[in-house]
Structure 1
Amino acid sequence: MDKYVPIRDVYAREILDSRGNPTIEVEILAGEKTVGCASVPSGASTGKYEAIELRDGEARYMGKGVEHAADHVNAQIAPEIVGMNVLDQRGLDEVLKRLDGSRNKGKLGANAILGVSMAAARTAAKISERPLYTYLGGVQARTLPVPMMNIMNGGRHADNTIDIQEFMILPVGAPDFREGVRMCAEIYQSLKALLGQRGCNTAVGDEGGFAPDLPDAKEALSMLMDACKMAGYQPGKDMLFALDVAASELYDEKLNAYVFDGESRMHGQKVLRTTDQMIAYYEELLAEFPIYSIEDPLDEEDWEGWVKMTAHLGENVYLVGDDLFVTNTERLKKGIELGAANAILVKINQIGTLSEAFDAVEMAHRAGWQAIISHRSGETVDTMIADIAVAFNTGLIKSGAPCRSERVEKYNRLMRIEEMLGKTADFPCYMDTPVLK
């Protein structure tokens, strides 16, 4: 590396995320006076193999404080990285991993480590006088991602009867990112009006999607179909749908079945589904609705089921591993070798450093898999994932509904990036993807 710009100071503090829970914000000073700042997201529906988010476990903030993690940055990490080259992202991330020394980053906390990793990247981009997406991805960073907007919430993201966690729309008929955002926002407002007309609750969940009480997923998807048509768009042509089932949250190990509590309450009888019944259920949904992807359709431990499902459905839909892979290349490698899933959801806080998240994207792309950059349900206004999606030309991003500033800021950042790229910007068309033929 030609240029050397030393880190001069590092400081972490406790702030609040979008759910009113504490999270970490880190600032890094490098060179003479360049400061970069980053804040760390947090998930509600988390995989058991995710890197450990360190919480204080004390009375303040009901045990969710992060002062200890911030202290780890200030007292343990800072002395070790002051003087390092801020432009050496991978070298810095390797030092952070070594300082923690555990497989799951449970010693210092993945939230502490990631805050430093993110802040270093933002500081380095400023020093390089380049936008963050160009600093991370180089001159080939020019693909704007198609937004996967979560406009209806259920599961752990809402207090309602819908068991499936997210119902998303993808504006595949849009000519560019800006128009895609507009199309999604219009459907979102149409859905609100439609829910109101039908006497449903229009309160929103953690990610800004509406959270009505509906009998089942088919009713929710039918509502999305109607909202698209009300807004003047054709499902299957202008818009595709995506689901996040978060099946690990539904799975009951004792029953060896997936328990649909919301459906059970609405239908007045216990609704259980085995792995084979889940696969058959998805096949029904695919036959009836224009679904592009299904995230976490089975439990994170059910490798055999994932392989069977991918063989049966993988020609017609992207099967996305979130809890299954937790942005970990060891688990992703296993999935690729087994043929379990055909896409990965990438959440930077699941693994703890930017370099490791980038490695997961590259491994997926080499295997011919789709990689989707994602937010968390507990977010901040930090927009780094927008730049990451462009930097690595992932072509897809999850950032929630066109509602709540911590979600909308990512979309606004991407519209600004599209302006900066000008005529060189690319916006993918997924109507031609083999998975939908």
Structure 2
Amino acid sequence: MEPGGRRRQQQQQRRLQELRREAAQYYQDHRVPQRMEEALNALFPQRPADLYGELANYFSKFSKAPVICKLVGRKVLDGVGQPTLEVEIYCTVKNYEKRICSTVMSSHSQIPENALPETTEADEKERNDSVNTAVEWVNESLNMMLRGLKPTDQCKVDKILGEYFTKKVEEKKEVQNQEEEEEEEATLALTSCTPSATSLPGKKKSAKPGKKVAVAERPIPPAEPAESVLRGSVAIGGTSLAVAKAGAAVSHIPLYLHIALLKCDQDSLKEMTLPLPMVTLLNCEKISPAKLRLVKEVMLIPPVQLSLKQPSSQVADSKKGRARNTGKKAPLKGKYEILTGTFKSPDEMVDMYVELINKFPFIIALIDPLRKEDRQQWSNICCALGSKCYLIAEDAATYISKLKTDQNINVPMCSGVVLKYINETKVSDLIELTGLLDGQRHITILGSPDGESSDDSLVDLAVGLGARFIKLGGLSRGERVTKYNRLLAIEEELAKNRTLREANLEFIAFAEESQPEKQLSDVLPPPKQDSLPPQLSQPALQVHSLPAQHADLGHPN
């Protein structure tokens, strides 16, 4: 090369280094170097196409981390046509406002199946008002409170959301207390103006001596009152999940990995286990003309050795046209109705389930085999069947935030719980509670609420949290198939990266002594080794039986 050409090349290299320094100074001091593009064009008229890419990668190291600049909430429809909330997250990325992601919350209803039309109408109005309130919270208060925060700082975001929700709860209590005081004052004023009625002499009846009093059978404890849901609370859960998705997006990693890193440190995260899907085969709902009332759903669970693609095709091909509907059981006078007109006492129910599991060892799990209030029988059935199958509480574990904060909450003795991401639940709540369950040898199941949406974030949550199972329903309807397809995609990605670890199922051998009220905070005994039946090692689909809890708690198909 001629001396003049070598000199020009050296000048160009020095100029390029100066441009790099100027660009770095720009990102540090926010001073824009003048005519950078013109200088590049003058210096490198024949520059390679990837030069801009190299410079962009170099300069990006000095850019500010993305921060939340705007939240947008709107009312949309879920998978069953009910109104629910969508939350969009916008971030400032390299001085530009950019839409990062959105999430659609699933709705959850506790309307009894046999509710009166006016009750259903009132619930629909309350649901609509609640979504409108949630949209207002997102677009106004939460939009201002979260502005400028990093979407990767999930703990800080959830702390702010929790404090805001607590404030709203206290405001509602104050309003209720004021209304109650006004009502009491009005009642006292009315009572003082009304003459009191005196009882007439000789009218009081006393019990006759020697009369026998009938002794009733031990009844099942009455149903616990439904938990009140604060209007607008879905804004808390929707915003928390949307921020988690935004954090994953700006970190350029999938959501399941982002959740896993939030739960445990990166050094210990070398392999991940996929949750086994619980695929509904038979659904037994209120529209059923049949008479059987014991079983609510029958689910299939693939063996741990098979990939998700193997059992899913078998379910779709071999089970067409074989679905049948049955009814559900309901407690009456302290007994469970397993067939129309056929009742069993709580003790007889335990014996019946023992006989069922002994006869059909492929049944590896029972969800809500008894009412959640019947804690004594939960203890008995766990001691009888805990080493042979999973005894799962679903309706007893609906409110995640309450399970996490209330140490005295009575949850029946069980092998594990079904958790649902609803209302004011935050991502940090799930991480904390599943960590607690893991440490106490409970299994975690992530389940879809009644009103499902097409948002497949539930699958990423289940994978990232290390849930043992995921309960999505049958292979039908777009909002469900979307989630199954997401599970298949994650399995393929983990297998490709060689980070997929095979699931390991171990049943729990409970203590033999009766423990009527087992808390989630109680540490369970270690699982019994080699407790799985030999059939679970065979390459075949497993049958999962889900007896219903009682008649007013059904899940639409």
Query: 2:430 maps to which residue?
Result: 357
In structure 1, give the amino acid aligned to 2:418. L
In structure 2, give the amino acid aligned to 1:310. C
Query: 2:85 maps to which residue?
Result: 24
Query: 1:98 maps to which residue?
Result: 163
Moved over 6 A (4+): 57-60, 332-339
- SS of the counterpart of 2:272? coil
Query: 2:299 maps to which residue?
Result: 168
Shift of 1:116: 0.5
| Contact in 1 for aligned 2:276/2:304 (Cα 8 Å) | no
1:286 aligns with 2:357: yes
- Please give the alpha-carbon distance, in whole angstroms, between the structure 2 residues aligned to 1:335 and 1:425: 38
| Contact in 2 for aligned 1:149/1:401 (Cα 8 Å) | yes
Query: 2:308 maps to which residue?
Result: 177
In structure 1, give the amino acid aligned to 2:78. D
1:9-47 per-position Cα deviation (integer Å, ceiling 9, x unaligned): 111111111211111111111233142111111235689
| Contact in 1 for aligned 2:375/2:412 (Cα 8 Å) | no
- Please give the alpha-carbon distance, in whole angstroms, between the structure 1 residues aligned to 2:484 and 2:408: 31
Query: 1:237 maps to which residue?
Result: none
Query: 1:312 maps to which residue?
Result: 384
- Please give the alpha-carbon distance, in whole angstroms, between the structure 1 residues aligned to 2:391 and 2:435: 18
Query: 2:451 maps to which residue?
Result: 378
Query: 1:200 maps to which residue?
Result: none
> Is the alpha carbon distance of 1:358 and 1:435 closer, same or farther for their aligned partners in structure 2, counting shifts above 3 Å?
farther
- SS of the counterpart of 2:397? coil
1:247-326 aligned at under 5 Å gives the runs 250-252=330-332, 255-260=333-338, 263-264=339-340, 270-289=341-360, 290-326=362-398
1:400-419 per-position Cα deviation (integer Å, ceiling 9, x unaligned): 11111111111101111122
- Please give the alpha-carbon distance, in whole angstroms, between the structure 2 residues aligned to 1:284 and 1:213: 23
User: What TM-score comes out, normalization by structure 1 length?
Assistant: 0.75
Query: 2:127 maps to which residue?
Result: 64
1:282-311 per-position Cα deviation (integer Å, ceiling 9, x unaligned): 222212221111111222222222222212
Structure 2 spans left out of the alignment, 5+ residues: 1-63, 113-119, 171-226, 262-268, 508-528, 534-557
| Contact in 2 for aligned 1:258/1:273 (Cα 8 Å) | yes
| Contact in 2 for aligned 1:327/1:345 (Cα 8 Å) | no
Shift of 1:335: 9.5
Shift of 1:191: 2.8
Identity %: 26
> Is the alpha carbon distance of 1:367 and 1:337 closer, same or farther for their aligned partners in structure 2, counting shifts above 3 Å?
farther
In structure 1, give the amino acid aligned to 2:336. Y
1:424 aligns with 2:424: no
| Contact in 2 for aligned 1:40/1:115 (Cα 8 Å) | yes
| Contact in 2 for aligned 1:7/1:86 (Cα 8 Å) | yes
1:144 aligns with 2:216: no
> Is the alpha carbon distance of 1:321 and 1:213 closer, same or farther for their aligned partners in structure 2, counting shifts above 3 Å?
closer
Shift of 1:121: 0.7
- SS of the counterpart of 2:135? helix
Which stretch shows the higher mean deviation, 59-68 or 401-410?
59-68
In structure 1, give the amino acid aligned to 2:441. G
Structure 1 spans left out of the alignment, 5+ residues: 48-56, 196-209, 217-244, 265-269
In structure 1, give the amino acid aligned to 2:419. V
In structure 1, give the amino acid aligned to 2:491. E
- Please give the alpha-carbon distance, in whole angstroms, between the structure 2 residues aligned to 1:418 and 1:128: 21
- The structure whose Rg is larger is 2
In structure 2, give the amino acid aligned to 1:134. L
- SS of the counterpart of 1:340? coil
- SS of the counterpart of 1:151? strand
Which stretch shows the higher mean deviation, 129-138 or 82-91?
82-91
| Contact in 1 for aligned 2:400/2:425 (Cα 8 Å) | no
- SS of the counterpart of 2:101? strand
1:30-72 per-position Cα deviation (integer Å, ceiling 9, x unaligned): 233142111111235689xxxxxxxxx9889655322222222
1:401-412 aligned at under 5 Å gives the runs 401-412=474-485
> Is the alpha carbon distance of 1:351 and 1:79 closer, same or farther for their aligned partners in structure 2, counting shifts above 3 Å?
closer
- Please give the alpha-carbon distance, in whole angstroms, between the structure 2 residues aligned to 1:59 and 1:375: 24
In structure 2, give the amino acid aligned to 1:146. L
1:35 to 85, 100, 105: 100
User: What TM-score comes out, normalization by structure 2 length?
Assistant: 0.59
- Please give the alpha-carbon distance, in whole angstroms, between the structure 2 residues aligned to 1:338 and 1:107: 22
Query: 1:436 maps to which residue?
Result: 532
- SS of the counterpart of 1:372? strand
> Is the alpha carbon distance of 1:320 and 1:45 closer, same or farther for their aligned partners in structure 2, counting shifts above 3 Å?
farther
> Is the alpha carbon distance of 1:182 and 1:45 closer, same or farther for their aligned partners in structure 2, counting shifts above 3 Å?
farther
Shift of 1:430: 4.1
In structure 2, give the amino acid aligned to 1:149. V
- Please give the alpha-carbon distance, in whole angstroms, between the structure 2 residues aligned to 1:45 and 1:107: 14
> Is the alpha carbon distance of 1:272 and 1:338 closer, same or farther for their aligned partners in structure 2, counting shifts above 3 Å?
same
Query: 1:399 maps to which residue?
Result: 472
- SS of the counterpart of 2:278? strand
